[in-house]
């Protein structure tokens, strides 16, 4: 008898009918001889409604109280799903984050999981119960309700799977797996049967919005093998797991794209210690997430820095830099919006040469100009004009023959 953790997102439990469907799916899994633990999100729209109410009362609602408020969304889902399971004859019990022993730390609305005490869940499982656990929430050491922020339900599912030593953790969502590229962009994109944690992390941070990085990191840390699959059908999805030797045979696992990027380049920065720290510090303080960061010494003896960020942050970034650059008489700031990022990801890169050359040639042949370039051990990322990003994705996808099943 296998123990299967299934995570259902807000869309999957977005109406009473959908809740009944989830219950039926869980019953099937159970009837096949498995123990089932579901981790569920709030019904879609619920969290936004609660935030809206809080914001009507206060422009800056207390984060502690937001946690108390938002946690009710998942609490309603688990009760309704448990009722639906009981109605079709499955002995089920709902479990809040606190009852699931999800102990958290960190600031309110952005909790991190500190440790897990799965004893209550284990007791219920020993009684043969099917469990419905509230995603996205835990409890602080002093007993306060704590939510885990965006992607929190995925994190809960991975943590519950780790704590219960589950055989499988299924992340059931509205996509049916991880693809070699976004199928809306590259028609012949192929669903990957498996992908390593590190590749999944690079894909996640490169615009593939299947899962938040921290859930993948948590799974990697605790060795939780999980599967991203559709909640709408029974097709196998994509297994995410520790890399194994066979995986290196594939040079590039996938290509991801991220639109609406912007670049800032600052030139004329005195080439002195501490300058980069000051600039990056000012941007961090303004809560701007930088993506690519490139620094160099120009021929004029001054340093130059380039960063990319989401284009909606561009104004805020310029404002944050202004007072700083006022003290550097030679500095100049140059901005560019309307760019996009393309990343090619694969652990095979480590043992194959010429990957960058193949990629740049493909882009060049397609007449696409490359802006910034940044690389990691298993990723090559470039910026291109946003109007050419789809062409760029198709060109790179074709160049590495990602539509073909590797032999």
Stretch that binds a second copy, among 94-102, 184-192, 235-243, 327-335 (CB under 8 A): 94-102
Query: Pseudo-torsion of CA 389, 390, 396, 401, nearest 10°?
Result: 170
The DSSP output letter for 293 is: E
User: How many Cβ atoms are within 10 Å of 49's Cβ, its own excluded?
Assistant: 12
Residue 117 found at the interface with a second copy (CB under 8 A): no
Residue 356 interacting with a second copy (CB under 8 A): no
Taking the least distance from each CB to a second copy, the nearer of 116 and 389 is: 116
Q: Can you tell me the distance from the alpha carbon of 171 to that of 238, in angstroms, rounded to the nearest whole number? A: 10
Distance (Å, whole) CA 202 – CA 241: 14
Among 1, 33, 56, 128, binds a second copy (CB under 8 A): 56
CB of 78 to a second copy, least distance (A): 7
Instruction: Round to whole Å and give the CA distance between 276 and 282.
Output: 10
Q: Is 310 in the site for a second copy (CB under 8 A)?
A: no
Query: Looking at 5, 40, 113, 145, which residue binds a second copy (CB under 8 A)?
Result: 145
Q: Which is nearer to a second copy, 124 or 218 (CB)?
A: 124
In the bound complex, what is the minimum distance in angstroms from residue 56's beta carbon to a second copy? 5
Query: Which candidate, 249, 297, 290, places its Cα nearest to that of 275?
Result: 297
Q: Is 120 near a second copy (CB under 8 A)?
A: yes
Interface with a second copy, residue 119, by CB under 8 A? no
Name the segment binding a second copy (CB under 8 A); options: 77-85, 212-220, 298-306, 313-321. 77-85
Q: How far is the CB of 128 from a second copy (least distance, A)?
A: 16
> What is 221-284 written as a DSSP string?
HHT--EEEEESSS----EEEE---GGGGG-S--EEEEEEEEEEEEEEEE---TTHHHHHHHHHH
Q: State which of residues 22, 37, 90, 93 lies at the interface with a second copy (CB under 8 A).
A: 93
Number of H helices, E strands in the chain: 11, 18
349 lies in the binding site for a second copy (CB under 8 A): no
Provide, rounded to whole angstroms, the least separation between the CB of residue 25 and a second copy.
15
Residue 382 tokens, joined? 């470039």
Which residue's CB is nearer to a second copy, number 79 or number 293?
79
Calpha distance 186→268 (Å, rounded): 41
Q: Which is nearer to a second copy, 99 or 231 (CB)?
A: 99
The pair of structure tokens assigned to 47 is 């969290």
C-alpha angle 108/114/117, rounded to 5°?
Answer: 115
How far is Cα 255 from Cα 199, in angstroms, rounded to an integer?
A: 10
Phi, psi of 209 (to 5 degrees): -90, 25
- Per CB under 8 A, the list member of 3, 24, 30, 61 interacting with a second copy is 61
Residue 174 CB, nearest approach to a second copy (Å):
23
User: Mask of contacts with a second copy, 11-50, x by CB under 8 A?
Assistant: -----x--xx-----------------------------x
x/- letters, 209..248, toward a second copy (CB under 8 A): ----------------------------------------
Which of 78, 113, 321, 380 binds a second copy (CB under 8 A)? It is: 78
**Per DSSP, what are the bridge partners of residue 295?**
305
d(CA 241, CA 194): 7
Q: Strand ranges (DSSP E) for 270-331?
A: 293-297, 303-310
Secondary structure element (H or E) that encloses residue 122, with its range:
helix 119-126
Site stretch for a second copy (CB under 8 A), options 69-77, 212-220, 227-235, 390-398: 69-77
| Interacting residue ranges for a second copy, rule: CB under 8 A | 16, 19-20, 50, 53-54, 56-58, 61-62, 64-66, 68-69, 71-72, 75-76, 78-80, 82-84, 86-87, 93-94, 96, 99, 120, 143-145
């Amino acid at each position: 008898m296998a123990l299967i953790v299934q995570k259902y997102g807000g869309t999957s439990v977005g109406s009473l009918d959908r809740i009944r469907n989830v219950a039926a799916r869980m019953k099937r899994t159970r009837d096949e001889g498995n123990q089932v633990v579901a981790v569920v999100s709030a019904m879609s729209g619920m969290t936004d409604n609660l935030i809206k109410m809080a914001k009507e009362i206060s422009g800056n609602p207390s984060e502690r109280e937001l946690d108390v408020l938002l946690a009710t969304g998942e609490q309603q889902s688990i009760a309704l799903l448990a009722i639906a399971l009981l109605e079709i004859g499955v002995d089920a019990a709902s479990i809040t984050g606190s009852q699931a022993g999800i102990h958290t730390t960190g600031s309110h609305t952005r909790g991190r999981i500190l440790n897990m005490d799965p004893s209550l869940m284990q007791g219920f499982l020993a009684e043969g119960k099917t469990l419905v656990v509230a995603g996205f929430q835990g409890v602080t050491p002093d007993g306060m309700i704590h939510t885990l922020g965006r992607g929190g339900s995925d994190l809960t599912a991975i943590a519950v799977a780790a704590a219960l030593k589950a055989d499988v953790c299924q992340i059931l969502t509205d996509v049916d797996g991880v693809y070699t590229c976004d199928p809306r962009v590259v028609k012949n994109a192929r669903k990957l049967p498996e992908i390593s944690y590190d590749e999944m992390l690079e894909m996640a941070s490169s615009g593939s919005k299947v899962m938040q990085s921290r859930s993948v990191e948590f799974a990697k840390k605790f060795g939780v093998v999980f599967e991203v699959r559709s909640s709408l059908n029974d097709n196998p999805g994509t297994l995410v797991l520790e890399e194994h030797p066979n995986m290196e045979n594939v040079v590039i696992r996938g290509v991801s794209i991220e639109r609406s990027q912007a670049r800032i380049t600052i030139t004329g920065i005195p080439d002195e210690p501490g300058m980069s720290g000051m600039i990056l510090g000012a941007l961090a303080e303004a809560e701007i997430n930088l993506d690519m960061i490139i620094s160099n010494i120009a021929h004029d003896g001054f340093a130059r820095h380039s960063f990319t960020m989401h284009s909606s942050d561009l104004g805020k970034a310029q404002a944050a830099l202004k007072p700083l650059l006022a003290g550097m008489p030679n500095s100049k700031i140059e901005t560019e919006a309307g760019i996009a990022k393309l990343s090619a990801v694969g652990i095979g890169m480590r043992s194959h040469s010429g990957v960058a050359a193949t990629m740049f040639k493909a882009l060049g042949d397609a007449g696409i100009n490359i802006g910034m370039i940044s690389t990691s051990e298993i990723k090559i990322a470039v910026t291109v004009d946003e109007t050419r990003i789809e062409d760029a994705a198709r060109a790179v996808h074709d160049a590495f023959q990602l539509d073909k099943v590797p032999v």
